[in-house]
Structure 1
């Protein structure tokens, strides 16, 4: 909590005088990177947001790959884990302890660490949230325009919010391929998140919508290359199921 207290300063402009660990070591360096990149690109803050978004996503790509691989490993073990839960379905303490022991033995046998998927997320989330703060709190960004919209005001024709929502849906659909049908909560989030993004993007400055769109497109490409075989298998299974019906 003491490290992340700067997260509450969403309405305060970020400057070199901003104090606190969060501001000094995460938000301001990202804000400075956006400004310097814009200067290098001839003063275009729209292009700067696109370039820096891609740089940030590339920087955390190894963590995303590790998280995806861990998720795939856990998904592969899911049938065996379900079988153990069925075998030890009694709720008494001794049976539950036995279930935990068998589950840990299963992880060790296949070399899977259930926490390995969480660690990359813990590292990348402050970076992504910090980048979000850098865009929203860098005052000079609000003074510029890009394409058809002002970066400091909502998109007047609502095109960016719709693209942000659509790309969020596609990205989540690809990430949940083969699992959403098995988990009703995940299936609900598949629709809820894009709707929430659209609602927020309609009211937020277009600079943030641009960041969401570029980040989502990068995630779609990343998911395709990392989970390509799994996605093709899911599509083929769906087609075979449809043909059978």
Structure 2
């Protein structure tokens, strides 16, 4: 169940970013007040601006570099989350067999099942919440970076490749690539979902496509770079790690 909660959290954050992000247009500065602005959004905005100076004022290259830097920084958390998810999959058959031996409509039977379930977790050294905690740490950072891009005024005044960073891509190339890479990432990371949850793989790309068409190209660039990184990361995590050892 916790796995589905994570998916719903990701979808909810995406909805928040696509709807609320467009409304948050006030430029971020060192004088911006509030804990969120002062300690999360502004430091990342400053980092984007600083890195741009290292690339001769190219905010496009800065967004690429900072995106990769942030993704690499949170990679250990992502790996921990992945390992926890794999561990839950390994013990799932045993948990299903245990659950089938109890009448879940009976409150007393439910309590017995809960105790047995905790014993199984303890037996294999699995913490079901270990997959959630890394995500809760990652999301504020990624959301702050999103808003830093949205609210750094200098970004909108620059161009990169064929597009203006402050305007939607006139050729729709970035939105399409952003949606396509989101779909590929979903196929890699959500392939073990039940059939009734498979629609999630298609919901996210559609949301990203609609948002990228309407929003500044700087955000589309961020999504594309982040997605490509996640695809490579997912290939090695989900494609190379065939099994996980649990203590018994």
Q: With structure 2 as the length reference, what TM-score do the two structures score? A: 0.87
Equivalent residue in structure 2 for 1:126, among 137, 140, 143 = 140
Equivalent residue in structure 1 for 2:196, among 167, 180, 184 = 184
RMSD over equivalenced CA pairs, Å = 1.6
Q: Provide the rounded CA distance (Å) in 2 between the counterparts of 1:189 and 1:143.
A: 36
| Superposition map of 1:56-135 within 5 A | 56-135=70-149
Equivalent residue in structure 2 for 1:164, among 156, 175, 178 = 178
| Superposition map of 1:145-164 within 5 A | 145-164=159-178
SS in structure 2 of the partner of residue 116 of structure 1: helix
1:223 is matched with which residue? 234
More contact order relative to length (CA 8 Å, sep ≥ 6): 2
Q: Provide the rounded CA distance (Å) in 2 between the counterparts of 1:49 and 1:116.
A: 30
Structure 1: give runs of 5+ residues left out of the alignment: 1-6, 232-245
User: Shift in Å at residue 183 of structure 1?
Assistant: 4.0
Quickly say closer, same or farther: Cα 1:112–1:183, change in 2 above 3 A.
Answer: farther
2:9 is matched with which residue? none
Equivalent residue in structure 2 for 1:198, among 181, 202, 209 = 209
Q: Which runs of 4+ in 1 moved over 6 A?
A: none
Q: Provide the rounded CA distance (Å) in 2 between the counterparts of 1:230 and 1:176.
A: 15
SS in structure 2 of the partner of residue 221 of structure 1: helix
User: Shift in Å at residue 90 of structure 1?
Assistant: 3.2
Structure 2: give runs of 5+ residues left out of the alignment: 1-19, 243-248
Q: Provide the rounded CA distance (Å) in 2 between the counterparts of 1:91 and 1:70.
A: 29
Aligned residues: 223
Q: Provide the rounded CA distance (Å) in 2 between the counterparts of 1:190 and 1:228.
A: 18
User: Shift in Å at residue 85 of structure 1?
Assistant: 1.8
CA-to-partner distance for each residue in 1:108-140, whole Å, 9 max, x for gaps?
000000111111111110000000000000010
